[in-house]
Amino acid sequence: MHSLSREIQGFSKDRLKKQCTIVTTVTGRRLLETRGDGGEGEEQVKELEEEDGCGFVEDKSLDLQVGVVRPFLLLASQDAAHDIDTLQRFKVSHVLNVAYGVTNLFPDQLVYKTLQILDLPDTDITSYLGESSSFIDLAREKDGVVLVHCNAGVSRSTSIVIGYLMLREGLSFDDAYGQVKLARPSIRPNAGFYKQLQSYKP
């Protein structure tokens, strides 16, 4: 007990580490909040320059990787769907947006279909396959290229594309999943979607 009280008495606030937090505002400004030496009133906020670090590297890179599942069927994140250079490079004519609350940025240049699907294991993903597949077929019939995306291009859009291959090409779940993963290695349908597609009989 005595050693603890001695330690507390001998403790200097100089030994406290400075804390810093990076805050990104809604307008995209990046601020660095620093609280030093444990003292009140010593908080500082400054605008972050690109080279400022805070003990970690923030990944700000956009995910513009586009998985080419078929020449007419692409899979990506919303970053790619919002990047006109990427869309033009892949000759995208149609966009199937299966995210929730993600806007379509180029309605004058592209044909859009939006299905607001929640990325929850108990969402019935197979109930969206008919409508989604019809839109993909429509693009294909017009010699177009359709980009399917959600937010991250990992769960919802992936499940729709896997379902399309099962429904239209008669692939087994394993074959469809394997081909889509080859095109976009980061795919990971949520556990509910995975099970639904495994037992899906078109």
* Catalytic residue annotation: 150
Query: Residue 41: is it exposed, middle or buried by C-beta count within 10 angstroms (0-12/13-18/19+)?
Result: exposed
Q: Which two tokens stand for residue 177?
A: 């999943």
Q: Spell out the SS3 assignment of 98-129.
A: CCCCCCCCCCCCCEEEECCCCCCCCCCHHHHH
Q: Which residues of 135-145 are buried (b: 16+ CB within 10 A; e: fewer)?
A: bbeebbeeebb
For 87, other C-beta atoms within 10 Å of its C-beta total 23
Residue where the block lists tokens 């976009």: 184
User: Amino acid identity of 169?
Assistant: E
Query: What SS3 state is found at 148?
Result: strand
In a 13 Å sphere around the CA of 53, the CA atoms on its Cβ side amount to 3
